[in-house]
Amino acid sequence: MTDVLLRVEALTVAAGAATLVGGISFTVGREKLAIVGESGSGKSLTARAIIGLLPPGVRRTGGRIALGDRILTTTGWQGVRGRRIGFVPQDPKYALNPAHRIGRQVEEALVLHSRLSAGERRERALDMLHRVGFPDPQRAYRAYPGEVSGGMGQRAMIAAMVIAGPDLLIADEPTSALDHALRDQILDLLGGLTDDTGMGLVLISHDLRQVARFADRVLVMQRGILVDRLDAGALAQAGHPYTRALWRAHPSAASYGTRLPEAIEETLQP
């Protein structure tokens, strides 16, 4: 915890005149940090601002992001993305390139960031595939994404993002596209990798129960700002009304992607 891997200070993100993330600050150490908040609260934009890949029309308008001792400006990403920060998106069905074999996608970070030979890369990729839980790495290596299930696809995605040994892994709702039964497995995998490698993990999630079991610390976002920060273990006894409302609003498959009920919204008006 003493080791600060990522320091975000007063980050603002805007689309035209609309401020979407309004000046948030936090740090990430060698830990599992969760960011929660209702849909549209700016979690994904925060994550994408950190890796410098905001959608077209959306810009980082202020603030400071430091990765270790390197200041991340809006340009100059050489050797950062894929090498020092990994990013796992939500749905492996769209996040994996349908035209490339899985092995190639897992190796790509090594192609971009290492001088390993093709044989060494392959070995590392097979090893990585094994670590993320493919019983037959050789076969997975040759498979196209369309030939594996969603859960296995997400494992491959994680392998691709961890293979270059990043300091920090950002996972944006990595389990919400998966069946309930698979979610814990993927989280266990992420947790195991975090503990083994000593990297930091930022987990963006809707599911507070999941977060309470899994994370060390929790940041709560609402309308682009951080309204609460607490230890994951304290979630059930949260003091902040918004955090309490989130805790009570059991997210389910049916309510995924929707906003909180009106009633909660109203009680939360500042």
Partner 1 sequence: MLNTASETSSTIRVASRWFGFSRWRGAGTAVVRWLGSVALTLFGLVLVTFAMTRLSPVDPVLQLVGDHASASTYAAARLELGLDRPLAVQFGRYLVRVGHGDLGQASSTGQPVAADIARTFSATLELATVAIVIGAASGLALGIIAAMRSGGIIDAAARIVSLVGYSIPIFWLGLLFLLLFYARLHWAPGPGRLDVLYQYTLRPVTGFALIDTALSGTAGAFRSAVAHLVLPALVLALYALAGITRLSRGAVLEQLGQEYVLTARAKGAGPWRVVFVHVLPNVTGPLLTIVALAYASLLEGAVLTETVFAWPGIGRYLTVALFAGDTAAILGATLTIGSAFILLNSLTDLAVARTGRGRDR
Binding site for partner 1 (CB under 8 A): 51, 53, 77, 79-83, 85-87, 89, 91, 93-100, 108-109, 112-113, 144-146, 157, 160-161
Q: Which does 228 bind (CB under 5 to 8 A by kind): Mg ion, partner 1, ligand ATP, none?
A: none
- Beta strands of the chain (E only): which ranges? 4-15, 18-29, 32-37, 59-67, 70-72, 85-88, 168-172, 200-205, 217-222, 225-231
Amino acid identity of 30?
R
Cα–chain center distance at 251: 19
Region from 1-9, 50-58, 161-169, 237-245 binding ligand ATP, contact rule CB under 6 A: 50-58
Q: SS3 of 46, please?
A: helix
Q: Give the footprint of Mg ion on residues 3-32 (CB under 5 A).
A: none
Q: 4, 15, 116, 268: which one contacts ligand ATP (CB under 6 A)?
A: 15
Count of chain residues binding ligand ATP (CB under 6 A): 14
d(CA 73, CA 66): 9
Residue whose CB is less far from ligand ATP, 46 or 194 = 46
Q: 32, 43, 122, 183: which one contacts ligand ATP (CB under 6 A)?
A: 43
Amino acid identity of 224?
G
Q: CB of 118: closest distance to ligand ATP in angstroms?
A: 38
Q: Give the footprint of ligand ATP on residues 242-261 (CB under 6 A).
A: 257
d(CA 65, CA 89): 21
Q: Which does 100 bind (CB under 5 to 8 A by kind): ligand ATP, Mg ion, partner 1, none?
A: partner 1
Q: 12, 24, 32, 44: which one contacts ligand ATP (CB under 6 A)?
A: 44
For β-strands 200-205 and 217-222, DSSP reports them as unpaired
d(CA 203, CA 124): 25
